Amino acid sequence: MIEPLHDTHTGIEAQDIKQEFDGWRQDANHLKEADWRKALALIDSHYIRGRMRSFCNGRLQFGMLDQSLGYLRITAFYGYVEKYTWADALHELQSALDAIFQDAGKLSGLVIDVRLNHGGDDPLGIEIASRLTDRKYLAYSKVARNNLKGALHFTDPQQNWVVGSSRPGFKGNVVLLTGPDTVSAGETFAMALFGREPHVTRIGLNTQGVFSDVLNRRLPNGWRLHLPNEAYLTSDGKAFDATGVPPDICLGFFSPEDLHDGRDAALEEALKIFRAGASPGTRTN
């Protein structure tokens, strides 16, 4: 029942038989865990100058690609503190961003890498987006289905805004690296950068294509079912469910050959853009 939907926000948990199954949109560029370990080690050893600094229980890492080009890797928007409360997670992220951007005046550009991002809390992504702008703009709107029969019907849109922060941040040129392992809150973070100026150039591949908060229900036999019942919309009403957020520059990365040769094609494209002083790619949002 679940597998044909190809949606990682759908799943069944059967505690009595200790089994569970979650959906997933298969993609030729999906990497296994061992491949991602190789890929991240490749970036750290081949492209980062000096050492990577780790924050938020390792979910955020920051380093320099050269003397003035920063690299921020975000692998999740959860797990920032051992015992979760929203206030503690937000405080941990704010402290991390203060440290990361304390010398932002020395940065000529910033690469944000969410190609491996397991999702989490959408507002944490908006908090990061707030450090990248000095103005208020719409991140996205959410609507939830509110009928059971007939044509789809949704609630009125709930608007979510990015509000520029007075705390340390970076307002210059940004490139965002995305791919099929950019999931859920990683994708809403990409949407939260659509309205940012200067335009954030997205390089890589389409994201996974799951956005909704997960609606949980119990079945008559005691099993748990979860599914999406919301749509996330851009300022002009677009949704990216199933297809994912598209890049401005479509480019595969970490093929077996590239992993063997120690090459990150998407990151190299970002470096080429910054070092050539090229203008951002064509907008696709």
Q: Tell me: the pLDDT tens digits for 13-34?
A: 999 999 999 999 888 778 999 9
- pLDDT score recorded for residue 27: 81
CA-to-CA separations, 165 to 129, 132, 134, 168, in angstroms, rounded: 9, 8, 7, 8
Phi, psi of 138 (to 5 degrees): -75, 125
CA distance 201 to 114: 13
**pLDDT greater than 70 at residue 55:** yes
Q: Say yes or no to pLDDT of 282 above 80.
A: no
How high is the pLDDT of residue 5? 92
- Looking at residues 143-148, what average pLDDT do you find? 94
Beta strands per DSSP E along the chain: 11-14, 19-22, 49-55, 60-64, 69-74, 109-113, 137-144, 158-162, 174-178, 201-204, 214-218, 224-228, 230-233, 249-250
Judged by DSSP in three states, 93 sits in helix
**What's the pLDDT tens digit per position in 3-15?**
999 999 999 999 9
Could you tell me the domains of the chain? 30-275 (3.90.226.10)
Mapping DSSP to helix (H, G, I), strand (E, B) and coil, where does residue 76 land?
coil
Q: What percent of the chain has a predicted confidence (pLDDT) above 90? A: 93
> Is the pLDDT reported for residue 279 higher than 90?
no
Ramachandran class of 144: left when φ > 0, alpha when ψ lies in -120 to 50, beta otherwise:
beta
pLDDT of residue 278: 53
Contact by Cβ (8 Å): 189, 114: yes
The partner residues of 154 in beta bridges, in order of sequence, read 145
Q: Which of 256, 268, 144, 151 is nearest to 203 (CA)?
A: 268
pLDDT tens digit string along 221-264? 999 999 999 999 999 999 999 999 999 999 999 999 999 999 99
Report whether 225 contacts 219 (CB < 8 A). Answer: yes
Tens digits of residue pLDDT in 86-140: 999 999 999 999 999 999 999 999 999 999 999 999 999 999 999 999 999 999 9
**pTM confidence score:** 0.94
Model confidence over 58-87: pLDDT tens digits? 999 999 999 999 999 999 999 999 999 999
Residue with tokens 């991240």, as numbered in its chain: 40
Q: Which of 163-177, 200-214, 269-283 has the lowest mean pLDDT?
A: 269-283
- What's the pLDDT band for 284 if we cut at 50, 70, 90? very low
Q: What is the largest CA-CA distance in the chain?
A: 61
d(CA 160, CA 126): 9
pLDDT at 281: 45
User: Cα separation of 192 and 136, whole Å?
Assistant: 11
| Integer Cα distance of 175 and 110 in angstroms | 6
pLDDT in tens, 175-198: 999 999 999 999 999 999 999 999
Backbone angles phi, psi at 91, to 5 degrees: -60, -40
